[in-house]
Amino acid sequence: MATRHDTAAPPVKEGGAAPARASADAAPTEAEQRHRARLSRRWQRDIRWSPYAFVSPFFLLFLAFGLFPLIYTGWASLHQVELTAPTDMEWVGLRNYTRIFDDDFFWNAAKNTLTIGIIATVPQLLMAMGLAHILNYKLRASTFYRVAMLAPYATSIAAASLVFVLLFGRDYGMINWALHQVGIGAVDWQNDKWPSQFAVSSIIIWRWTGYNALIYLAAMQAIPQDLYESAALDGASRWRQFLHVTLPALRPTILFTVVVSTIGASQVFGEPLLFDANKGASGGAEHQFQTLGLYLYEQGWVNQHLGRASAIAWTMFLILILVGIVNYVISRRLRASS
Amino acid sequence: MTTTLTPPADSADNAADAAKAPRRSRRPRSARAGGTLHGGPIAYAILILFTLGSLFPLVWTAIAASRDNNRLAQTPPPFWFGSNLFRNLDVAWTDANLGEAFFNTTFVAGVSAAAVVIMSTIAGFAFAKLRFRGRGALMLIVIGTMMVPPQLSVIPLYMMVAKLDWTDQLQAVILPSLVSAFGVFFMRQYLIQALPDELIEAARVDGASSWRVVWHIVFPAARPAMAVLGMLTFVQTWNDFLWPFLVLTQTGNPTVQVAVAGLGRGYTPDQSLIMAGALLGTLPLLLVFAIFGKQIVGGIMQGAVKG
């Protein structure tokens, strides 16, 4: 690395790196001492403040696009604000909250978000765990499986949802055709409550299972081999090894994926929006698969009540914090018990 | 929450282990569990099944895009390609204004990937290698922000954009995507391991300023992780739906996702055209995956968190 000697800080005590012209004189001139002192001060400032300079772009942008909106949403949720005139705010206190809590569609959306979240997350993480376990074997072409399983991750919500709408079509869809071949009658994936929720969930499962499998695989590969060997010498079967070595070692990773998936599931929006044959934001004719994210959009952008939409957003946030606390408590209990 | 980086795929270790252990080991069979055990036929069957499940919807998109609309409204659904692919792609391209959408999306995703990579690298370096007051608390904030749902910020952002008269403008999409807590975290994890402290100290002794250390030492050392983070950010921004959908009206200045979604929301939908649009919207990223798949997989596994 090239060093520009004019900006380099000469060590004060040892004369070694001092500039060549000064080496003739035993005592540095007054000007040089001032020069050195200045460099030394600049050096100190650099060491002290540059870390803050390095992290400040992130935090400035975060303040503008993360923290400020978070707080402002809370403020807006206490006002009546319409989409047509977003700067006209009229204080209404908690009325937005009481109104959405009185709204059956809110509770319906909350329930749907929960059930779709469970249908999408639980099988997804279980399958990801199984896949990771298999991928952890020595396999031919293991990179190929990993990349292929990650291909859905490269597909957008928009494209994936449109394809699944066709696959789940009632009359000409591939899935009903396959069911027909094995003697099961047509399922109305669009209009029946549970089938439609399953269909929406399947889009999420399809896109994220491979991704989560890779995360589990990474954690599994970090488990020391000798743990397995000593467990085996103690006579543990492979299943017991999985239960007593793999799972405990993976607990933090599992917790992480559960938290991330929960956050993702609480925000499901594009899938139910595009899965709707009526092209609306109601999540099906009977709101049978309207999620909170979709309900927020309907209140804010279709019905144009931004204040109420803000109240929904903050309610979602509070629910997530609650989920986070519950997760934390559970994980502490688990850690304490083991 | 303590975090550690998973070591790079330890298949080499496993191979060494396997080589050490004779094929007929006297240890119980189960002693060779974990990474050293070879997959049996069942393992392969399950993997192939999942691979097919992953790829089938994508392949079928192409099949449906190569048919005409009437053929899609029949049973059994088509299992092989028809002859309309290029005509459908052409019509979808024009109808959805995909040319402009591609340009927009590439621009948005490119700018945001570049910004995220640079900012995350220097911030990640500071968190990984520099001592400063408040480091722990600030890092906690970074991790905490990964948990804040984007929907919370959508409404004020929309108000800001509306006030600035930026609806339908690309900067409305770009600005919020410039910042990534995950990126900072990812680069920090990488640099802790990949950047020896001695290298920084040596540069310091030579009198390099912090910025010179970043430019001449951190950036070169971080290059592999920067490439992975750049690709991940590009994929994510390319696929982003909620925010572009809200700020870009569907005729104004669409991104690919908004344009593709718009195809599906016409009143007399032509399914084969929709599939052609979906295919066009997915193809560029699938190409990226086909080329850089291995690196992306490695990157995701490297970013995997152990709390």
Alpha carbons A182 and A159: distance in angstroms, whole number: 29
Q: Band of the pLDDT at A44, cuts 50, 70, 90?
A: confident
Q: Band of the pLDDT at A229, cuts 50, 70, 90?
A: confident
B8 upstream amide cis, omega within 30 of 0 = no
- Chain position carrying tokens 């001449």: B216
Q: Which helix (H) or strand (E) holds A80?
A: strand A79-82
Cβ–Cβ of A138/B210 closer than 8 Å?
no
Look up the domain containing B203 and give its range.
85-304
Alpha carbons B9 and A200: distance in angstroms, whole number: 34
Closest CA of chain A from B24, distance in Å:
16
At A82, give phi and psi (nearest 5°): -105, 150
- Chain position carrying tokens 């052409």: B90
Hey, what are A211's tokens?
Answer: 């991704």
Closest CA of chain A from B221, distance in Å:
14
Q: Would A160 be classed as within a structural domain? A: yes
Name B278's Cβ contacts closer than 8 Å, sequence gap at least 6: A158, A159, A162, A163, B61, B65, B260, B263
Q: Would B267 be classed as within a structural domain? A: yes
Name A103's Cβ contacts closer than 8 Å, sequence gap at least 6: none
Q: Is B203 helix (H, G, I), strand (E, B) or coil?
A: helix
What's the confidence (pLDDT) of residue B268? 61
Alpha carbons A43 and A329: distance in angstroms, whole number: 47
**For chains A and B, what is the number of CB pairs under 8 angstroms?**
365
CA B68 to chain centre: 33
Hey, what are A295's tokens?
Answer: 């309900």
What's the confidence (pLDDT) of residue B303? 66
Amino acid identity of residue A176, one-letter, is N
Q: Domain containing B136 — which CATH number?
A: 1.10.3720.10
Q: Could you write out the DSSP letters of every residue in A216-263?
A: HHHHHHTS-HHHHHHHHHTT--HHHHIIIIIHHHHHHHHHHHHHHHHH
CA-wise closest residue to B181 among A62, A14, A325: A62
Q: Which residues of B touch A158 (CB under 8 A)?
A: 241, 257-258, 260-261, 264, 278, 281
Q: Would A64 be classed as within a structural domain? A: no
CA-wise closest residue to A96 among A109, A108, A80: A80
Total number of domains in chain A: 1
CA angle A124–A128–A129, rounded 5-degree value: 120
Q: Would A168 be classed as within a structural domain? A: yes
ipTM: 0.79
Alpha carbons A149 and B232: distance in angstroms, whole number: 16
At A305, give phi and psi (nearest 5°): -100, 90
Alpha carbons A54 and B125: distance in angstroms, whole number: 8
What's the confidence (pLDDT) of residue B126? 93
Scanning A128-167 for CB atoms below 8 A from B yields: 130-131, 134-139, 143-167
Contact A165, A274 (CB under 8 A): yes
Q: Which residues of A touch B210 (CB under 8 A)?
A: 46-47, 50-51, 53-54
Asked whether the predicted pLDDT for residue A264 surpasses 70, the reply is yes
Q: Would B105 be classed as within a structural domain? A: yes
Over residues A281-294, the mean pLDDT reads 89
Scanning A296-315 for CB atoms below 8 A from B yields: 296-297, 300-301, 306, 309-310, 313-314
Q: Domain containing A199 — which CATH number?
A: 1.10.3720.10
Q: Which residues of B touch A54 (CB under 8 A)?
A: 122-123, 125-126, 130, 210, 214
What's the confidence (pLDDT) of residue A49? 85
Look up the domain containing A306 and give its range.
103-337
B295 vs A194, higher pLDDT = A194
What's the confidence (pLDDT) of residue B305? 44
What's the confidence (pLDDT) of residue B28? 45
Q: Say what the pTM is.
A: 0.82
A269 in contact with B, Cβ within 8 Å: yes
Q: Could you write out the DSSP letters of every residue in A164-199?
A: HHHHT-TTT-HHHHHHHHTTPPPP-TTTSHHHHHHH
Cβ–Cβ of A139/B43 closer than 8 Å?
yes
What's the confidence (pLDDT) of residue B110? 94
- Each of the 307 residues of chain B gets a pLDDT tens digit; together they read 333 333 334 344 444 444 444 444 444 444 444 445 677 888 899 999 999 999 999 998 888 888 887 777 777 777 787 778 888 888 888 877 888 889 999 999 999 999 999 999 999 999 998 888 888 888 888 877 776 777 778 888 888 888 888 888 888 889 888 888 889 988 998 888 888 888 888 888 888 888 888 898 899 988 888 988 998 899 889 988 888 988 887 667 888 888 888 887 766 678 888 888 889 888 888 888 888 888 888 878 876 643 3
Task: Give per-residue pLDDT as tens, A291-322.
Answer: 999 999 999 889 989 899 999 999 988 888 88
Q: Is B296 exposed, middle or buried (0-12, 13-18, 19+ CB in 10 A)?
A: buried
Task: Give per-residue pLDDT as tens, A272-281.
Answer: 998 887 777 8
Residues B161-191 as b or e (16 or more Cβ within 10 Å = b)? bbeeeeebebebbbbbbbbbbbbbbbbbbbb
Q: Would B66 be classed as within a structural domain? A: no
What's the confidence (pLDDT) of residue B36? 56
Q: Is A87 helix (H, G, I), strand (E, B) or coil?
A: strand
CA angle A241–A247–A253, rounded 5-degree value: 150
Closest CA of chain A from B76, distance in Å:
7
Q: Which residues of A touch B175 (CB under 8 A)?
A: 64-65
Asked whether the predicted pLDDT for residue A17 surpasses 70, the reply is no
Alpha carbons B123 and A50: distance in angstroms, whole number: 10
CA-wise closest residue to B154 among A70, A288, A173, A178: A70
Task: For chain A, give the number of residues.
Answer: 338
Q: Which among A73, A136, A158 is the nearest to B257, CB-wise?
A: A158
Task: Give per-residue pLDDT as tens, A133-170.
Answer: 999 888 888 888 988 998 999 898 888 998 998 899 88
Alpha carbons A9 and A5: distance in angstroms, whole number: 8
Asked whether the predicted pLDDT for residue A13 surpasses 60, the reply is no
Over residues A240-256, the mean pLDDT reads 87
Q: Which residues of B touch A59 (CB under 8 A)?
A: 138, 141
Q: Is A76 helix (H, G, I), strand (E, B) or coil?
A: helix
Alpha carbons A244 and A160: distance in angstroms, whole number: 38
What's the confidence (pLDDT) of residue B127? 92
Over residues A53-82, the mean pLDDT reads 87
Task: Give per-residue pLDDT as tens, B78-120.
Answer: 778 777 888 888 888 887 788 888 999 999 999 999 999 999 9
Cβ–Cβ of B6/A218 closer than 8 Å?
yes
Cβ–Cβ of A150/B281 closer than 8 Å?
no
Total number of domains in chain B: 1
Q: Which among B28, B157, B163 is the nearest to A69, CB-wise?
A: B157
Q: Which among A3, A66, A156 is the nearest to B148, CB-wise?
A: A66
What is the rounded average pLDDT for all residues in chain A? 84
